[in-house]
Amino acid sequence: MNRLISSLDERKIIYRLNEPMKLYTTFKTGGPAELFIIPRDENEIRAIMRLCYELGTEVFVLGKGSNLLVSDDGIKDKAVIYIGENFDYIREIDECTFEAGAGASVASVCKYALSKSLSGLEFAYGIPGSVGGAAFMNAGAYGGEVKDVIELCRHITDKGDYGQFSASELDFSYRHSVYSRGGYIITGVVFRLKKADKRQIEDAMSDFITRRKDKQPLEYPSAGSVFKRPEGYFAGALIERSGLKGKRIGGAMVSEKHAGFIINYDNATTTDVINLIKHCQKTVKEKFSVDLETEIKFV
């Protein structure tokens, strides 16, 4: 790690040592990142990736941390590359197409689409997280998925080369994309939407955000839905039928509003959250013989 830090210093690339990850996750938990790198542009990402490849340093890419649980011990022996405000942009390509930087929030992209009377992203309004994260995991809600509106993704490879995948190459499926296998950093996403009545788009967005506020515990730190949807079931319903609404372990709690959410109710640690996840999985397995697979990424 010292060799990597020296190389970053030589190139004047910004980094921080022992940066608290709880500042960068929506769960507000997690220990420090040993090395936290903040690239200013794609050229710096290329340089960082080449250095890490040459030195054999593992990389972890961080966006808005909305689907992430970081160990209480933090992230050691990995370079955390933060794709944040420096990659927060939206650029018009043509009347129905635009590119958003991987660090842009999903909410800002939805608002941009509304301003241009473009339909197709209404379902995503209220999804936390970044555009890069949404593409990485094929984020979806209310019957929509980003795979339906993404034309291509731009990326940098683990060897520091530019590249891109078209929609047909992205291997989208439920909460999965080609990027799930690792080896790339998404830098930008091109969306293609359709012209529609602005009032109708706004009404649909308003409806979706109202449903979220009514049904989801948005007032507490969380990472959204904890579990993937088991075939033929709904994870939240199984957890509720197991009598686990309001179940607490340490400062973590199964939301009383929506059992598919685990919330940081009272200064929870990541260990609290993980133990509660395991308890839900064990209980649902015993009662319904259904395996709950997590949607959240563990680091």
Give backbone dihedrals phi and psi of 71, rounded to 5 degrees, phi first. Answer: -50, 145
Instruction: Determine contact, residues 70/19, Cβ cutoff 8 Å.
Output: no
pLDDT, mean over the chain:
95
Q: Could you say which of 175, 212, 242, 255 is catalytic?
A: 175
Residue 142 has pLDDT above 90, yes or no: no
pLDDT per position as a tens digit, 29-76 = 999 999 999 999 999 999 999 999 999 999 999 999 988 999 999 999
Single-letter residue type at 131: V
Does the active-site annotation cover 175?
yes
How many CB atoms lie under 10 A from the CB of residue 219? Answer: 9
Whole-angstrom distance, CA of residue 217 vs CA of residue 256: 8
Q: Residue 76: what pLDDT?
A: 94
Q: Could you say which of 19, 42, 99, 295 is catalytic?
A: 295
Beta carbons within 8 Å of 181's beta carbon, 6+ residues apart = none
Q: Residue 264: what pLDDT?
A: 97
Q: What is the mean pLDDT of residues 241-263?
A: 97
Stretch (H or E) spanning 195: strand 194-195
Domains (ranges, CATH) in the chain? 2-82 (3.30.43.10), 87-200 (3.30.465.10), 219-298 (3.90.78.10)
Q: Angle formed by the axes of helices 198-215 and 106-115, to 10°?
A: 150
Q: Could you say which of 66, 105, 222, 225 is catalytic?
A: 225
Whole-angstrom distance, CA of residue 243 vs CA of residue 237: 10
Q: Residue 128: what pLDDT?
A: 87
Does the active-site annotation cover 295?
yes
Q: Residue 110: what pLDDT?
A: 97
Residue 226 has pLDDT above 90, yes or no: yes
Residue 141 has pLDDT above 90, yes or no: no
Q: What is the mean pLDDT of residues 162-187?
A: 94
Does the active-site annotation cover 95?
no
Instruction: Determine contact, residues 136/180, Cβ cutoff 8 Å.
Output: yes
Between 174 and 240, name the one with better pLDDT.
240
Q: How far is CA 162 from CA 43, 119, 129, 186, 298, in A?
A: 10, 30, 24, 10, 28
Q: What is the mean pLDDT of residues 104-111?
A: 96
Beta carbons within 8 Å of 214's beta carbon, 6+ residues apart = none
